[in-house]
A and B are shown apart, each in its own frame.
Chain A
Amino acid sequence: MILNALSITMIFIGALSVLLAIWGGISSLILYRKWKRPSGPEERTSLEDRSYLVFLIMVIVLLIRLINWPLFYVTLQSFISDIEGAMCIFGVTQVKPGLTRLLEFLKPIIFFLIGGWLILNHLDRATKTSPLMRRKLLLLSIISLFVLVDSLGDILLMIGITPESLVSCCTTVTDILNRPTRTTPVSIFGPEYGRPLQTLYFITHLVLLGFIGANLKFRIFRRSVLGFLFLFSILNASLFLLSQIEVFAPAMMHLPFHHCLYCLWQYVPDSILLFGFFSLGTFSVGWGFTTDLFGKIGEATDSLPSYLRNIYWFAFFFLSAALVMLIIHLLVD
């Protein structure tokens, strides 16, 4: 185990999250089941009071888990100097590759779920009758399960990464000619795939921005349209990742043959901001869809359009900011 302030913080947050996720998950599931049954005013009041206590505590836990995603990478970055052969986060991920890959996959999903739940919670709190209470409780119990797995994973990883590990780093994996991120575009565009790939990415990004803009202007908040936007944003995110690895990261790092995103964050630190903006923009498109999916009930339906408008403005703004940052980087280069 590598002991530093960050790893201790990760373990502390992890342990706290495990305990509260178990308590919060079970409590919300029990409350969900009780909420269904008709009850007298006193029992109802007690049920509401318990629910608000669970929400109050779990909101804090969920906010901490939101911060946990960037903190996870900052902690891995802090381990680089202690692991022989690691020159970026990739090297650290090679100490426990399976577990690290699982956590890297889980964390953005949890971030998305938590964000969506917090928006639903906010929407519900703006009403007088709390029509989303049952859905919130059910979703909270599901999210608690994810949080539990993620937190246990964090603890195991922090304990499992040992300083004497010898690993090989990104160069031997991300720069080889038969890497999947190269062979896929080569099979579609041919050996000179760089320019077509980046053009395709710019087109999809601009089209996505156009769709969001049109949605905001004409207020088309139909579920099918929002679902399509969500799927399109996932496609755009896939293209973003592919073009970052193959085209933009090497250009921004001034290392034309190096395709490691962890190195990009290390050598060009403001690219972290770019990735942050892009993630928030893409997640916001998804949050718009999930808010409509789960929030269209009773009194909440009235305030839903204004929420959706705000969420899509958020998406438009962050996706635009990511695009502006990327273009500036490419122009300055």
Chain B
Amino acid sequence: MALFVILVVISSALGCQGERKSMEGRCDDDGVKIEPLYAVYFTLRDGTEKKFCSIACASLSFSELRGRIKEVIVVDERSGIKIHAVQALYVESEVVTVPHVKNRIHVFGSREDAIKHLDRFSGKWVDNPFQ
């Protein structure tokens, strides 16, 4: 019996450490591997950074972290360049970017790219979700 308990203790400790390593490069909301093109980054007032796999996940955490956020960075899905959330344009269309959250909100750095996507995939303009 004592041996069994020791086994449980060791497994717990190893489990915790293994889990820590596996969380690097994953979404801070649901732990899914991040596709850089659809990532969202929060910089908090204490200097720490939070990263998310999609606008959907970032929006869920935004409501919890609202008071602590200093800056929100999104990625222009056309060029892959990181831009400030306030500078980006948001289009909701029939195209799903991150399937597990069925995220349909697309981020663009230029109006021209956004309109192209909007016309092609029957999209509509949506407000910046991080305000």
A56 within 8 A of B: no
**Residues of A with C-beta under 8 A to B96:** 166
Interface residue tally for chain A (C-beta within 8 Å): 38
**Residues of B with C-beta under 8 A to A302:** none
User: Contacting A171 at CB < 8 Å: which of B12, B17, B56?
Assistant: B56
A140 within 8 A of B: no
**Residues of A with C-beta under 8 A to B101:** 168-169, 171-172
Which of A170, A252, A258 has the most C-beta atoms of chain B within 10 angstroms of its own C-beta?
Answer: A258
B126 within 8 A of A: no
**Please, how many angstroms separate the alpha-carbon atoms of A171 and B103 in the complex?**
11
B60 within 8 A of A: yes
**Of residues 28 to 48 in B, which have CB atoms within 8 Å of A's CB atoms?**
28-32
**Contact (Cβ within 8 A) B19 A253:** yes
**Of residues 233 to 278 in A, which have CB atoms within 8 Å of B's CB atoms?**
252-258, 260, 263, 267-271, 273, 277
A156 within 8 A of B: no
**Residues of B with C-beta under 8 A to A177:** 63
**Please, how many angstroms separate the alpha-carbon atoms of A332 and B19 in the complex?**
11
User: Contacting B30 at CB < 8 Å: which of A255, A332, A333?
Assistant: A255
How many whole Å from A273's CB to the nearest CB in chain B?
A: 6
**Contact (Cβ within 8 A) A252 B19:** yes
How many whole Å from A175's CB to the nearest CB in chain B?
A: 5
**Contact (Cβ within 8 A) B31 A255:** yes
**Contact (Cβ within 8 A) B30 A324:** no
Contact bitstring A162-176, B, C-beta under 8 A = 1, else 0: 000010111110011
A260 and chain B: residue at smallest CB distance: B30
Known: A255-B28, A255-B29. A171 touches B100 (CB 8 A): yes
**Residues of A with C-beta under 8 A to B12:** 270, 324-325, 328-329, 332
Known: A91-B100, A171-B100. A257 touches B64 (CB 8 A): yes
**Please, how many angstroms separate the alpha-carbon atoms of A253 and B56 in the complex?**
20
Contact bitstring A317-333, B, C-beta under 8 A = 1, else 0: 10001001100110011
A91 and chain B: residue at smallest CB distance: B100
Which of B5, B20, B30 has the most C-beta atoms of chain A within 10 angstroms of its own C-beta?
Answer: B30
**Contact (Cβ within 8 A) B19 A263:** no
**Please, how many angstroms separate the alpha-carbon atoms of A168 and B29 in the complex?**
15
**Contact (Cβ within 8 A) A258 B8:** no
**Residues of B with C-beta under 8 A to A176:** 60
**Contact (Cβ within 8 A) B13 A172:** no
Known contacts A85-B99, A168-B102, A171-B100, then 6 further A-B pairs from the complex at CB < 8 Å, ordered by chain A residue: A168-B101, A255-B28, A255-B31, A269-B15, A270-B12, A324-B8
For the complex of A and B, list the 9 residue pairs with the smallest distance between their C-beta atoms, beginning with the closest: A270-B15, A85-B99, A169-B100, A328-B12, A332-B16, A168-B102, A87-B100, A171-B30, A268-B19
Q: List 9 A-B contacts (CB under 8 A).
A: A168-B100, A169-B101, A171-B30, A175-B29, A253-B19, A257-B64, A271-B15, A328-B16, A329-B12
